[in-house]
Chain A
Amino acid sequence: MSSSVQAALPQSKPAARGFLRRLWDAIGMSLLALVTAFLLGGLVIWITSGSFDTVVQAYAGLFRGAFVKERGLTETLVASVPYILLSLGVAVGFKSGLFNIGVEGQFYIGAVAAAWVGQAVQGVPAIISLPLAIGAGALGGAIWAAIPGYLKARFGVHEVINTIMMNYIAFRFAEYVVSGPLRDKLASAPQTPRISPAAELWTFAAVPKRLEDPLNAFAVALIAAFITWLIMRWVVGRPSMQKRIAGKSQRRAVLLGVSAFVGMIVFVGLPVLTRTWWPFTDQYDRLHTGLILAIFAAVAVWWLFAKTTLGFSLRMVGANPNAARYAGVNITRNIVTAMAMSGALAGIAGTIEILGVSICRCLPLFFSSGYGFDSIAIALLAKNNPFGIIAGSFLFGAMRNGADLMELNSGVSKYIISLIQALVLLFVAAPGVVRWMYRIKSERRPEEEAPLTRGWGG
């Protein structure tokens, strides 16, 4: 930009702009993208079916299937869990300037790892086997993503091609594992053996029964104590509390004390409580605690980028790697870390599929997901904001879930959903298209997204 134009750029408008205006800035374009995609989808249905009624029936069926019908909401929530985790993975990549299209492959690897560990830990109590299986999935996904990450950092090979290659390798690898070394000899179809019941992901309906085991209760109590500790850290850090509780040892005492107290109450009280009153009946036996894990992951990602030094350096690398080098940031380490975290999230998603969602609690041969590309759309739609990702994932989960009823009711093929999702991605990627459609004037602003297309040579 020539210096005269530089001097001419307006200073940003004052911060106090009104809540509605800021809301529009944040989500306006995304909403428009969604609405437009649905409109165009409706148009396609109208054209291919010939009648407007079909469009109404289709969208009505979609809505009913997603929320209204029996178990509709449950299935929608179940379908949104992998979307949340995969989109978080993609978002972590984007914020660090990396395009991780390999979430699909990392998802597979996570599933393979979980299937293997899950069936290998027969007889081990849940307090060990469940975290172990999840950890294995996370580790598998992390390694699967770290390899292209390292190749990018060290050799400059663009991660798009490498992660896509890793995807295909992952598909073949999964097929190999299921048909060969890990094949269940007793089953007729090619699949892995059923995982140990202790390694299964808890469903909400099964919580009271699970809590009967004191080890499990203990684990839940630990988790409750940890969450309490996090909350207390925030509370104690507030200025008003700073005055009351001075001194490091005093603070530590308060934190530990409160956390331990809460932990004990949970340990003793929760099993009793759930046995007497627990809202999740068998009707919800598909809704699993992976949902909590996914939401926790979203909070963790938010915390990573808003509060930590690692998050700061990742954002720097994503926004301007040259400046990051100059500022002393180790680019290689940051890129590999970002990819590893991204892959870990995708791996956990795959783990949850096996441990909590699959009917056979195993990995079958024809294990296809197609979640990968959709999560790119969700991450972009939510502008990499973890809470937006939860909302977007819920929406996409609803679409995926409701598509069956839509097809049943109106005869419109499920694949129209893919078309709508592709359109969403198109409109989110090119906001100019939406602006052009609706004749919205755009403000010239310095780029806020980390530019992905920096060419092939690193």
Chain B
Amino acid sequence: MSTTTKSLNSGRRVHWRGTWWITAIFTAVGLFAVWALLNLIIGGECQGECVIDTLAQTLRIATPIALAAFCGVMCERSGVVDIGIEGKMLMAAMVAYAVNLFVFQSLKTTMDPATAGIVSRWIALAAALVSALILAALHAVVSIKFRADQIISGTVINILALGITGFLYRQYLAENLPAGPGTFPIWKIPVLSDIPIIGRILFQQQPLTYIMLILVFVIHYVLFYTPWGLRTRAVGEHPRAADTLGINVFKMRYANVWLGGLIAGLGGAWFTLEAVDVFNPGMTNGLGFIGLAAMIFGKWTPFGALAGALIFGLGNSITSTVSIFRPDIPSQLPQMLPYILTMIVLTGVVGRAVPPAADGQAYEKQ
């Protein structure tokens, strides 16, 4: 994987043929490793079906991590450090749940439940995006206009999100609630989902996962092939140089942070619109920060971030599979694994991963 990431580092002049070969080989090796590992721990009970399920689960849980990482990529490429992704996702998760429920209840009277469910879910998604956008805008203003320390500003977002979601949860969402319309159903892509093994993994997922996969290509294209991306990268590396050429550094940064916020909103919505049908305080459980680690692992590129998200997702899904088959291992121990894995991966990568040069530095016009 690291060779692939290295060659994708500059993002341009990618030699596609070579990359695909390497990716294919690594994927094959990875699959074998997964199978071997699972069987080692579980003792032979996890064969084909089980491995495929684990891998499908990997892609599922990699979705919010990757979306968080994409948010980070957008913000940091323009020079703004974003610690507050966790908070944005948490807020989006809660808003998505609440709006979903509320809209469904009001629409149920006029339409049939199935259609009401579909409408409410997509409206809830939009609401989630807006809520994350608001937090992102706050972070943007505090960091860009008021030039506060960006890590502290991100921490403020996290605290605010914790406080607000905790407050609203206690106030309105803790008591007995009517049933909601449920999560997004799995969309089976016709034809492609019948391919053995890969079909099950790639083409039988929920919509947000597909959106995430599309976003990888979109972000890569925008960052490396368009004027917007060129200016964003310039602003993140050497804002003064960009300024002297007439580029509005502040505008670029605001725009990128807002877009990042929308993407984080997608990530947050995953929790309550795809994973489970309830909201629990703090349910994001650090996945926003793991997304940051994936971003660093991916050297601030979308494909690299996806690779990182998949690795962490793998750690997560192996953990849950193991828990199912070996109930004798206390659940908390494997639950520690994703976080330990993150720390290990970061240690190996950070020395070689160079962030955008102006990352974290507030810009001041002279």
Chain A interface residues (CB < 8 Å from chain B): 5, 99, 101, 148, 151, 155-158, 160-162, 164-169, 172-173, 175-176, 179-180, 373, 376-377, 380, 413, 415-416, 418-419, 421-422, 425-426, 429-430, 432-433, 436, 449, 451-458
Contact A155 B330 (CB under 8 A): no
Contact B142 A429 (CB under 8 A): yes
> With A and B bound together, what is the CA distance between A285 and B258 in angstroms?
53
Closest-CB distance, B204 to chain A (whole angstroms): 30
Interfacial chain A residues near B360, Cβ < 8 Å: 453-455
Contact A456 B333 (CB under 8 A): no
> With A and B bound together, what is the CA distance between A415 and B171 in angstroms?
10
B159 CB-CB contact with A under 8 Å: yes
Contact B153 A160 (CB under 8 A): no
Decide if the interface of chain B is mainly helix, strand, loop or mixed.
helix
B126 CB-CB contact with A under 8 Å: no
B336 CB-CB contact with A under 8 Å: yes
Contact A156 B350 (CB under 8 A): yes
Contact A173 B332 (CB under 8 A): yes
B320-366 interface with A by 8 A CB criterion: 330, 332-333, 335-336, 339-340, 342-343, 346-347, 350-351, 353-355, 359-361, 366
Closest-CB distance, A127 to chain B (whole angstroms): 36
Closest-CB distance, B333 to chain A (whole angstroms): 6
Task: Count residues of B near A (Cβ-Cβ below 8 Å).
Answer: 50
Interfacial chain A residues near B164, Cβ < 8 Å: 415, 419
Contact B159 A429 (CB under 8 A): no
B166 CB-CB contact with A under 8 Å: yes
Closest-CB distance, A14 to chain B (whole angstroms): 28
Interfacial chain A residues near B171, Cβ < 8 Å: 413, 415
Contact A422 B286 (CB under 8 A): no
Closest-CB distance, B358 to chain A (whole angstroms): 9
Extra contacts, 13 of them, besides A156-B351, A449-B149 (Cβ < 8 A), are: A157-B346, A157-B347, A160-B151, A161-B346, A165-B340, A172-B333, A413-B167, A422-B159, A425-B156, A429-B148, A430-B153, A451-B149, A453-B149
Interfacial chain A residues near B110, Cβ < 8 Å: none
Contact B146 A453 (CB under 8 A): no
Interfacial chain B residues near A168, Cβ < 8 Å: 285-286, 336, 339
Q: Among A165, A426, A429, A432, point to the contact of B286 (Cβ < 8 A).
A: A165
B36 CB-CB contact with A under 8 Å: no
Interfacial chain B residues near A453, Cβ < 8 Å: 81, 149-151, 360-361
Question: Which A residue sits closest to B152, measured CB to CB?
Answer: A429
Given A415-B163, A416-B167, A172–B336 Cβ distance below 8 Å?
A: yes
> With A and B bound together, what is the CA distance between A203 and B148 in angstroms?
42
B108 CB-CB contact with A under 8 Å: no
Given A157-B346, A413-B167, A458-B350, A169–B340 Cβ distance below 8 Å?
A: yes
Q: Among B292, B293, B330, point to the contact of A179 (Cβ < 8 A).
A: B330
Interfacial chain B residues near A419, Cβ < 8 Å: 160, 163-164, 167
> With A and B bound together, what is the CA distance between A452 and B155 in angstroms?
12
Interfacial chain B residues near A416, Cβ < 8 Å: 167
Per-residue interface assignment for chain B, residues 110 to 147, with 1 indicating a CB less than 8 Å from any chain A CB and 0 otherwise: 00000000000000000000000000000000100111
Interfacial chain A residues near B366, Cβ < 8 Å: 5
> With A and B bound together, what is the CA distance between A18 and B39 in angstroms?
75
Contact A457 B355 (CB under 8 A): yes
Interfacial chain B residues near A377, Cβ < 8 Å: 159
Q: Can you pick out 14 interface pairs between chain A and chain B where the beta carbons lie within 8 Å of each other?
A: A156-B350, A160-B83, A161-B289, A164-B286, A168-B286, A380-B152, A415-B164, A415-B167, A425-B156, A429-B153, A433-B146, A452-B149, A453-B149, A455-B81
Interfacial chain B residues near A169, Cβ < 8 Å: 336, 339-340
> With A and B bound together, what is the CA distance between A322 and B259 in angstroms?
36
Interfacial chain B residues near A172, Cβ < 8 Å: 332-333, 335-336
B255 CB-CB contact with A under 8 Å: no
B71 CB-CB contact with A under 8 Å: no
Closest-CB distance, B280 to chain A (whole angstroms): 13
> With A and B bound together, what is the CA distance between A237 and B334 in angstroms?
57
Closest-CB distance, B168 to chain A (whole angstroms): 8
Interfacial chain B residues near A433, Cβ < 8 Å: 142, 146, 148
B175-207 interface with A by 8 A CB criterion: none
Per-residue interface assignment for chain B, residues 293 to 335, with 1 indicating a CB less than 8 Å from any chain A CB and 0 otherwise: 1001000000000000000000000000000000000101101
**Nearest 8 pairs of A and B residues by beta carbon:** A415-B167, A418-B163, A430-B148, A432-B146, A453-B360, A176-B332, A429-B152, A165-B339
Question: Which A residue sits closest to B348, measured CB to CB?
Answer: A155
Interfacial chain B residues near A426, Cβ < 8 Å: 142, 153, 156, 160
Interfacial chain B residues near A164, Cβ < 8 Å: 286, 289
B6 CB-CB contact with A under 8 Å: no
B170 CB-CB contact with A under 8 Å: yes
> With A and B bound together, what is the CA distance between A418 and B167 in angstroms?
9
Question: Which A residue sits closest to B359, measured CB to CB?
Answer: A455
Closest-CB distance, A99 to chain B (whole angstroms): 6
Closest-CB distance, B140 to chain A (whole angstroms): 12
Contact B155 A376 (CB under 8 A): yes
Interfacial chain B residues near A165, Cβ < 8 Å: 286, 289, 339-340, 342-343
Closest-CB distance, B55 to chain A (whole angstroms): 25
Interfacial chain A residues near B83, Cβ < 8 Å: 160
Contact B354 A452 (CB under 8 A): no
Q: Among A5, A161, A456, point to the contact of B353 (Cβ < 8 A).
A: A456
> With A and B bound together, what is the CA distance between A415 and B354 in angstroms?
40
Interfacial chain A residues near B158, Cβ < 8 Å: 373
> With A and B bound together, what is the CA distance between A173 and B340 in angstroms?
12
> With A and B bound together, what is the CA distance between A175 and B146 in angstroms?
41
Question: Which A residue sits closest to B334, measured CB to CB?
Answer: A172
Closest-CB distance, B359 to chain A (whole angstroms): 5
Closest-CB distance, B210 to chain A (whole angstroms): 29
Q: Among A5, A101, A422, point to the contact of B160 (Cβ < 8 A).
A: A422
Per-residue interface assignment for chain B, residues 262 to 296, with 1 indicating a CB less than 8 Å from any chain A CB and 0 otherwise: 00000000000000000000000110010011001
Interfacial chain A residues near B343, Cβ < 8 Å: 148, 151, 157, 162, 165-166
Interfacial chain B residues near A457, Cβ < 8 Å: 350-351, 353-355
Interfacial chain B residues near A452, Cβ < 8 Å: 149, 151-152
Closest-CB distance, A319 to chain B (whole angstroms): 14
B162 CB-CB contact with A under 8 Å: yes
Q: Among A101, A155, A421, A432, point to the contact of B148 (Cβ < 8 A).
A: A432
